[in-house]
Amino acid sequence: MREADGHGSAGRFHDTPFWRTYDRLAKWADRRWGWDRLPKPLGLAVLIGVRDLLRRENLFDTSHEPATDLPPVAAPDPRHSTARGIDGSYNDLAAPRMGMAGSRFGRNIPPDLTAQPAVETILSSPSPREVSRSLLTRTTFVPAESVNALVAAWLQFMIHDWFSHGKSPKDDPWEVRLLDDDPWPDRPMRIMRSRPDPTRPPGARGPATYANSETHWWDASQIYGSNREWHDFVRTGQDGKLKVNPDGTLPRPTHPDHDPSRAPGFWVGLSMMQTLFTLEHNAICDRLRADYPNWADDDLFQRARLVNAALIAKIHTVEWTPAVISHPTAVTGLRANWWGIAGERVSRLFGRLSSSEVISGIPGSRTEHYGVPYALTEEFVAVYRMHPLVPDDYRLRSTADDTVLRECTFRDLAGPNALEVVDKIGLCDLFYSFGTQNPGLVCLHNFPRFMQEFERPDGILQDLGATDILRSRELGVPRYNEFRRLLHLRPANDFNDLTDNPTWAREIERVYHGDIEQVDVTVGMYAEKRPKGFAFSDTAFRIFALMASRRLNSDRFFTTDYTPAVYTRTGLDWIADNTMATVLLRHYPGLRPAMRQVDNAFAPWKQASG
C-alpha cells in the first residue's frame, strides 16, 4: 500500500497491536456468524473492525504511476480556503490536485492485480452478451417493496456527481461474438472501450489507470459542474442564485453537444433531482440573504453550494442508504457516520462531545486520508452498477386524485424524451408517481429489458447488461470469488454455496461451464443471499462501508471546515433541520397528502384517493 506524503495518517492506519487484534477478531466473527446475524451491539462492533481492516488494507494509490499532461491547477487564492473549487482542486490545500476533475481513479485491491485481462478473457469467458441474455434479462419484474422508485432516480443523481470515465473513442470498439439465435441486429456486437487515461505516457509500464472526468469529491458537481463552462452557464450572477425557467424547469444549452439530455445516462429521474436541488440552492440563497443582506453574489453562491452539497450528502447517508439497506444494525451504523453513536438529539443539543467519529460522527471531525491520497475507486464504480433498480414500465399519475395521466416505458423517459415528459406531466406529478411506485430489486433476472436494447441519443444501440459485465473485466475488477477474497470474505465453494436459489445455481453453472472462479462480480453480487432488509448484496456493502465514510473523512468541508466560520450558523442549521421530505414539500407542497405518514421520503408513499 502506497502512503501519501505528508497528508492524512502517518503510516498505515491503526497499525497497532490493539487494533490489529480487534480487527482480526472482527474478521473472525464476521466469517463465523456474519455481522448481520449478531445482536446489534455486537454487529456494530464487528462492522467497526471490518471497516478498520478495509481502511488499512484496501486503499491503493494510482497517482504515483507515470503521468504526463496533467490537468492544470489554478494559482493559490485565499478564496480556496472557504469555497469549493469548480474542478475540485484545493480541497486539500497542501495537495491541490487531490480529487480534482481529470485525476485518476484509485483502487480497493492491489494495483498489480488489476491488469486488463487477455482479449479472449474479456470477450469469451463466457461472452458478456450470453451472460446478459441468460442471467440478467428481466422476465417478470421483481419489486423492492420497502422503497419507492425515487431511490433509482437518486442513485443516478449521485453517480453523475461521483464518476465518469469520459467519452469513449468510437474507433476500435470491443467486438463481442454472438450465438446463432441472438436477435441482435449487428454482428458482431460492438461495445465501445473505456477512454484511455489521458495522463498516461505512451508505452508506460505498470498497472492500467483510468481518469475520472468529474471531481472525486461529494460536491454536487451534477448541479454546479466540474468545469468553468457549465459553472458559468448555470449561474444567474445575482443573489448567488442558479437559473430556473419561469415554469420551474431548468434551462439547457442550445448547442446539442452541450445539451445534457443528449448525453448517455440522462433520463427523467435525473432531471427531477437536478431541478429539485437547483430550487433548493435558490431557497438557501434567500435564507442567507435575509441574514447577510450585504453579501455579494459570489459570497451567497459559495455558501449556498456548501450547504446544498452537505445536505445532499446527509440525505444519502441517513435516508437513502438506510432505506435500501434497512437492516437495523446497518441503519444505526449509517446514522452514526453522521451523528455518532451519541445520536442526532445529543448532536443538536450539545454539538460534538468528542473528536472521535464513532462518538460524535464524521462531520466536524478531523480530516483523514488513511495514508492514501483520496480518490474514488474502480471497485466503487463496479458495485454501483445497479440498473435493476430501474423499472421498465411507468404509470404517471395525478397528485390530486391518482388519475392516470400517461402510461409509458423507460424508453419514453430517457434522453431528450425526458424533457418532453417533464413539460407535459409536471414535476409535482412526476415526484408523486415515483414516490408511489416500487423500484426493482438488485438481483438476477431483473435487468431492465429496455436497457438491454437501449438506443443512445447518438443512435448507438447498447445492451447495458453486457456492457456492465464487459466493463468490470476491462477495468481489471476481479471475478466474484477473487473479489471476495481481497475484501477478506470467504469465496463461494460451489454454485449452491453462491446462491440460495437452486434454479439460479444451475443456470450460473451452465453459463460459466462449471467454473465457479469465472463468475463475474456483478453476477455473483446479484445472485448471493442478501442480509435482511438489503436491496443489494453484502459484498457490495463492503465497498460502501469503506468508501461512503471515506468520502466524508477526506473532505475538509465535511470535517475540519464543517464550522460556522465557513458555512455560517444559518447554513449549518439548514443542514441539521432539513430532510428529503422537507426539501420536496418546500418546492412541491402538493405532495403533502401523499407524504403525511412517511418517515423516510424513500419509503412508499400513500396513493391519493379519487
Catalytically active residues, by annotation: 160
The span from the CA of 330 to the CA of 377, in Å, is: 22
Q: Indicate the angle between helix axes 297-315 and 569-577, nearest 10 degrees.
A: 30
Integer Cα distance of 156 and 267 in angstroms: 9
Q: How far is CA 577 from CA 323, 344, 571, in A?
A: 19, 11, 10
Specify burial of residue 307 (Cβ count, 10 A radius: 0-12, 13-18, 19+): buried
Q: What are phi and psi of 147, to 5 degrees?
A: -135, 170
Please, what sign has the CA dihedral across residues 195, 199, 201, 203? negative
User: Which residues lie below 8 Å from residue 114, measured CB to CB, with a gap of 6+?
Assistant: 107, 207, 208, 378, 475, 476, 477
Q: Report how far residue 34's alpha carbon sits from residue 531's, in angstroms, rounded to the nearest whole number.
A: 9
Rounded to an integer, what distance in angstroms lies between the CA atom of residue 503 and that of residue 517?
Answer: 19
How many angstroms separate the CA atoms of 326 and 334, rounded?
Answer: 10
> What 3-state class would DSSP assign to 393?
strand
- 256-259 contacts, C-beta under 8 A, 24 or more apart: 258/229, 259/416
Is-contact 216 102, C-beta < 8 A?
A: no
The C-alpha cell 406531466 sits at 425
Of 443, 457, 359, the closest CA to residue 137 belongs to 443
Q: Where are the alpha helices (DSSP H) in 448-562?
A: 464-474, 480-486, 495-498, 502-511, 521-527, 538-553
d(CA 98, CA 216) in angstroms, rounded, equals: 9
Overall size of the chain counted in residues: 610
